[in-house]
Structure 1
Amino acid sequence: MKKLHLYSLIICCFFFSCSEFEDDINVNPNLPSQASGTQLIANAQLYLPGLASSPKGEFMAQYLSETQYVGLSLYPEESTSFYGYYQGPLENLQTVLNSDDLGTVDGPVANQKAIAKILKAYFFWNLTDRWGDIPYSEALQGADNLTPVYDTQEFIYNDLFAELKEANSMMVSGDIENDIMFDGDMDQWRKFANTVRLLMALRLSEVDSGKAQEEFNSALADGVFESNNDNFTFQHLSEANNQNYWYDQVIESNREWWALSEDLVEDLKPVDDPRLEVYGDPARATGEYIGLKFGEEDNIGTEEFSLLGSDIIAQDAPVYLVTYAQVLFAKAEASARGWISEDAEMNYNEAIRNSIMQWTGSDEGVDEFLAQDGITFDSDMAIEQISNQRWVHLFMFGYEAWAEIRRTGYPDDLEMPNGNATPNRLAYPDNEGFNNTDNFQDAVQRQFGGNDSIYGKVWWDVD
C-alpha cells in the first residue's frame, strides 16, 4: 500500500499543482515547486520500465514478430533518440548529486546521493550498450555546455565501475523515503550496485578478459543478488497513471500487432518449457502454441498465432530489469570460462530453476525439465547452452538480450528478414549532426569510419 500512495504522490508533484504540500516544504508560491531529493529519485525511477518495454527491443532479440504492419522488424537504417533519458531521469539524478541542500527529512543525504549515483550508472550503462560512445563526462551541465563530447565506451565502462564502487562506499545507516524500487532498503541497493558491476564485467569477456575477470570477482566478493526476492523489478499498478506499456498498447489501444516469434516457440514448445504458457497465449484458431516467423511480410492476421500472454499484458504486470537468474547465468558462464571455482552446471541448473520460478511462481517439474536432451548441461557446449537459456529468461527485456546476443553470438539461428542481419547498435539521433556537429562527427569517425550505421560495432562487440 505504501507504494500505491507513493506513485500517486509522484504523479501529483510532477504533473499537477500540489498546493497542499507547499506549506510543508515552505515553497515560495510565486516560484515553481522544488522537488525533494527523494522525489527526484522516484521520478527518475518511473523511467525504468521504459528501458525494457519497447517493441524495437523485442525485435532486436527476435522475441516478437509483427503481425500486420511489418516495418521495424525488417531492421531499417534509422536514427533513434536518446534525448529523453538525458532530459528526464538523468537530469533528475544529476540534480540530486549536485545539490548542497537536500535535507535529511527523507533519509540520510549520503544515501540519497548513493542511490542517485547507482541509478545514473545503470541508465548510462543501458545507453552506451545501445549506441556506443555517448555524451557522458560533459553531459548534464545544462546551459553551461550544450555540446558535450562523446566519451569512448571503454572510458564510460571504467568510470561506471568506479562510480558504483564509490556509491557503495558512501552509504551510511538509515533508509530513505519515496523509493519505488527497494522501499529505501540500502542493503538491497548495495547488492544491486554490485550485481550491475558483475553483469557489466561479463560484457567485457571478449574485448578484455583480464579486466572482465577482475571486475567480476570484485563484484562477487562485495555481494550480489542472492534470491528472486532481490530482483530489481518495477511493479506497475492497476491504474492509468502507472500502467504497463503493453496493456496500453494491446488492451486499451486494441492492437494485436505482436505475436511470439517462431524461433522462440520452437525452442520452448518441444521441451514443454513452462515459461511458454506465461509468455504467450495459444492461437485462437487452433488452441496450440504457434509462433510467427520473424519479419514475415504477408498480412495474415492474428488468429493463427500465439499473441502476448495475458500476464505479460496485464495492467499491473511487473518489468524484470535485473534478476537473480541473470546472476546465476553469469556465474555459470564465469565458471565455464575458469574465472571462478564454482560449479558451472550447478549455477546453470539453478539459473533455470529461478527463471522458471520468477515467471511461473513455482519450480514444479523443473527437475524433469532439466533432465531433457538439449537442456541437460553439457560442458562441451557450456557457453552456447548458458547463452541460449539466458535468452529464454530475458524475454520482454529485448535490449538486454540483444546485448548478450552480440557478445556471445547465441542464439545463432536468428532470422535475417529481407536478408538483413540483426543490427549491432542504434544509430544516433538525427539532430546530433546539427546540434553537436563536431563531437558527433568525431564519435562517428572514431568508431565507424564516418558512417553512423546500425551495423557498426560498439567497443566490446569484437566478434
Structure 2
Amino acid sequence: MKFKYSTIILSGALLLSVTACKKNLEEINRNPNASETAQPDYLLTGITKNIADTYWGTSNNMDASLLFVQNWSKIQYTDPDRYIYTNTSFQDLWNTAYTKGVINLNQLIKLADEQSNPNYKGVALVLRSWVFSLLTDAYGDVPYTQATNIKEYLTPAYDKQKDVYFALLEDLKSAQASLNTSGPAIGGDIIYGGKANPIGLWKKFANSLRLRIALRIADREPEKSKQVLAEIQAEGSGYISDNSEIAQLVYSTSPNQNPISNLFDTRDDYRISKTIVDKLFELNDPRLPIYASPTKDATPKTYVGLPNGLLVGDASAYGFTKTSKPGTYFLAPNAPAVIISYAEVLFDRAEAAARGFTAEDAADLYKQAIAASLKQYGITDAAVNTYLASPAVQYDPSNYKKSIGDQKWIALFGQGLEAFAEWRRLDYPQLQPAVAGTLGGKIPVRFIYPGTEQSLNGASYNAAVASQGADALTTKLWFDVN
C-alpha cells in the first residue's frame, strides 16, 4: 500500500508538472506584440496572393499545363515537356491549395460570421470554390467534405469529382446570397479593391465561376447545367461583362512580381510552342507579337516556335537566339494572373447557347468573345474587325466545339490550368503528342496525386484510385467524356 500510495503521489506530481510546463510554454510562446486573432483583410490579401502565385507559377503552369496544351515548350531540361514526372512534381498545387488556401479560407469564413460581415464570407466562398475547382480539374477525386474540417479529419476521404462540382455549385449559390452590395465594406481585396462597386463585381465573379463549372459537367449532367444557368438568370447579378471586370491579380514590382517574370529574371528554359505560333501565323492573328517575343537573332519569320517534347540535344540545336520566348507582356513584373476573363465568359455563354441551354445567339457571342480577347491586349478596332471577317475564324454551328475550342485555346494563352481543362473537355484543338513523349503517343489528361498522399493518407488514396482508376497521367477524369 505504501508503494502504491507513493506511486500515486509521484504520478500526480508529474501530471501537475506537465500541466504547469504546458501553461508556461503557452505563456513563453505567446507574442505580446502580435494579435492572436487574424485580421480578415490581411488574411484575404495573403490567401489571394498565395493561391495566385501557385496557380500562375512553375510546377502547375510553366512545367505542366502550359506544356500539355502546347502554349509553351522547353529548350532546356526537357523532361516535363516529354511527360516525365515524379510523384513530387504536382504536389505544389495540392499542398498550397489545402494548407494555404482551404484552411485559411475556412478561417476567413469563421471570422466573417463572428464579425457579422457576410461580404467576407461571400468572397471567401468564391475563392474557396475556385481553389477546389483547380484541384478537382487537375486530379479528379479530391478531399472536399472532410477537407473543410482538418481538426476532425486528419486523413480525409476523397469525394468523387461529380460530387465536388455539385457541392461547389451550391457553395457559389451560398456565396451569391452572402454578398450584399449594401452590406459592410471589406478590406484586403487585391482583385476588385479600388474599383467601383467591388461587391457587385464579386457577385459577377461568382456567377461566372458557376457558368464555368456548369459547362464542365455539361457532357455528363446537362439538366443540372441548365438548372444552374436558369438560377443565375433568375438571380440577376449577371456575369463579368467587360474587360475592366476581369477577375485577376495584377502584380507589382519585386518582390511582388509575377511568378513568370521572377523565373525569367534568372533562367532561360522556355520558349513559345511551335503549335500555337503556327496557328497564329495561319490565322494572321494580331496576338502573335503579344504572345511571342521576336527571336534574338534575325530570322525569316521573326517569331519561331519550338516543337514540344524534344530531347535535350535536339531542343538546343534549334538555337537559344533563333527561337522565341513568350511575349514581353507575359514576362513583365506587373503582368496579371488572370482567373476568369471577359472573353472566357463570352465563349462560355456562346457554348451554353449552342447546347440549347439558353436562348442567346451563339454565333454573335462567339464573335464578341474573340473581340474581347483581342481588346484585352490592346488590339485596335480596325484589326479586330479584319480578323473577325476572316473566313478561317467564322463560327461553324455544325461543330461548335471546334469553333469555340480552337479560339478559346488561343484566348486562354498563359492560363495553363484552365486551358488544360477546356482542351480535355472540348477536345479541340486536336494536338499532337510531344515529339519524344514517353506516354506511347498520348498527352497527359490529369495530374498524378502527390506521393505524400500514399504515405500519409493511404487508405483514402487507395479508395480514390480504386474508384477513379490508376493514378496515372493518362487516366481520364469523370468530366472528360470523349
| Contact 2:343–2:370 under 8 Å retained in 1 | yes
SS of the equivalent of 1:256 reads coil
Q: 1:373 aligns with which of 388, 391, 396?
A: 391
| Contact 1:278–1:360 under 8 Å retained in 2 | no
SS of the equivalent of 2:428 reads coil
Counterpart-to-counterpart distance in 1, 2:232 and 2:445: 27
1:138: which partner in 2? 146
Q: Give the counterpart letter for 1:170 in structure 2.
A: S
Counterpart-to-counterpart distance in 2, 1:151 and 1:214: 22
Counterpart-to-counterpart distance in 1, 2:65 and 2:202: 26
Q: Give the counterpart letter for 1:347 in structure 2.
A: L
- Aligned runs of 1:85-164 on 2, under 5 Å? 85-99=97-111, 102-103=114-115, 109-164=117-172
Asked if 1:333 is matched to 2:336, the reply is: no
Cα drift, residue 34 of structure 1: 3.2
Q: 1:411 aligns with which of 409, 424, 429?
A: 429
2:55: which partner in 1? 51
| Contact 1:43–1:92 under 8 Å retained in 2 | no
| Contact 1:336–1:383 under 8 Å retained in 2 | no
- Aligned runs of 1:279-428 on 2, under 5 Å? 279-287=291-299, 288-297=302-311, 298=314, 299-300=316-317, 301-360=319-378, 362-419=380-437, 420=439, 421-428=442-449
1:244: which partner in 2? 258
Counterpart-to-counterpart distance in 1, 2:336 and 2:112: 35
SS of the equivalent of 1:135 reads coil
2:16: which partner in 1? none
Please identify runs of 4+ aligned residues in structure 1 that moved more than 4 A.
30-33
Q: Give the counterpart letter for 2:258 in structure 1.
A: N
Pairwise CA RMSD of aligned residues? 1.9
Counterpart-to-counterpart distance in 2, 1:272 and 1:102: 56
Asked if 1:228 is matched to 2:240, the reply is: no
Counterpart-to-counterpart distance in 2, 1:340 and 1:159: 23
Which digits, 9 at most, give the CA deviation of each residue in 1:251-281, with x for residues without a partner?
A: x21x221111111011101322111111111
1:447: which partner in 2? 468
Q: 1:209 aligns with which of 207, 211, 222?
A: 222
| Contact 2:191–2:247 under 8 Å retained in 1 | yes
| Contact 1:61–1:399 under 8 Å retained in 2 | no
1:34: which partner in 2? 37
Cα drift, residue 411 of structure 1: 0.6
Which digits, 9 at most, give the CA deviation of each residue in 1:278-322, with x for residues without a partner?
A: 111122223511111111221223111111111110111112210
Asked if 1:459 is matched to 2:478, the reply is: yes
Using a 3 Å threshold, how does the CA distance of structure 1 residues 382 and 320 change in structure 2: closer, same or farther? same
Using a 3 Å threshold, how does the CA distance of structure 1 residues 417 and 206 change in structure 2: closer, same or farther? farther
Which digits, 9 at most, give the CA deviation of each residue in 1:350-383, with x for residues without a partner?
A: 1000000002354331111111121122323322
| Contact 1:44–1:90 under 8 Å retained in 2 | no
Unmatched 5+ stretches in structure 1:
1-26
Using a 3 Å threshold, how does the CA distance of structure 1 residues 100 and 181 change in structure 2: closer, same or farther? closer
Which digits, 9 at most, give the CA deviation of each residue in 1:196-233, with x for residues without a partner?
A: 00011011121122222222333344311111111001
Q: Give the counterpart letter for 1:423 in structure 2.
A: P
TM-score w.r.t. length of structure 2: 0.85
SS of the equivalent of 2:377 reads helix
1:13: which partner in 2? none
Counterpart-to-counterpart distance in 1, 2:34 and 2:208: 41
Cα drift, residue 456 of structure 1: 1.1
Counterpart-to-counterpart distance in 2, 1:338 and 1:142: 41
Counterpart-to-counterpart distance in 1, 2:233 and 2:475: 32
Using a 3 Å threshold, how does the CA distance of structure 1 residues 119 and 100 change in structure 2: closer, same or farther? closer
What is the percentage of aligned positions where both structures have the same residue?
32
Using a 3 Å threshold, how does the CA distance of structure 1 residues 341 and 442 change in structure 2: closer, same or farther? same
SS of the equivalent of 1:147 reads coil
Counterpart-to-counterpart distance in 2, 1:363 and 1:321: 25
| Contact 1:259–1:308 under 8 Å retained in 2 | yes
SS of the equivalent of 1:242 reads coil
Counterpart-to-counterpart distance in 1, 2:230 and 2:446: 28
| Contact 1:147–1:439 under 8 Å retained in 2 | yes
Which digits, 9 at most, give the CA deviation of each residue in 1:384-419, with x for residues without a partner?
A: 011100000000111101101111111113334335
Counterpart-to-counterpart distance in 1, 2:209 and 2:123: 13
Counterpart-to-counterpart distance in 2, 1:245 and 1:48: 9
Q: Give the counterpart letter for 2:304 in structure 1.
A: I
TM-score w.r.t. length of structure 1: 0.88
Q: Give the counterpart letter for 1:296 in structure 2.
A: L
Counterpart-to-counterpart distance in 1, 2:333 and 2:220: 41
Which digits, 9 at most, give the CA deviation of each residue in 1:175-210, with x for residues without a partner?
A: 311211111711011010000000110111211222
Counterpart-to-counterpart distance in 1, 2:113 and 2:409: 44
Q: 1:273 aligns with which of 285, 293, 300?
A: 285
Cα drift, residue 116 of structure 1: 0.9
Counterpart-to-counterpart distance in 1, 2:307 and 2:224: 39
Q: Give the counterpart letter for 2:334 in structure 1.
A: D
Q: Which has the larger Rg?
A: 2
Q: Give the counterpart letter for 1:365 in structure 2.
A: A
Using a 3 Å threshold, how does the CA distance of structure 1 residues 110 and 60 change in structure 2: closer, same or farther? same
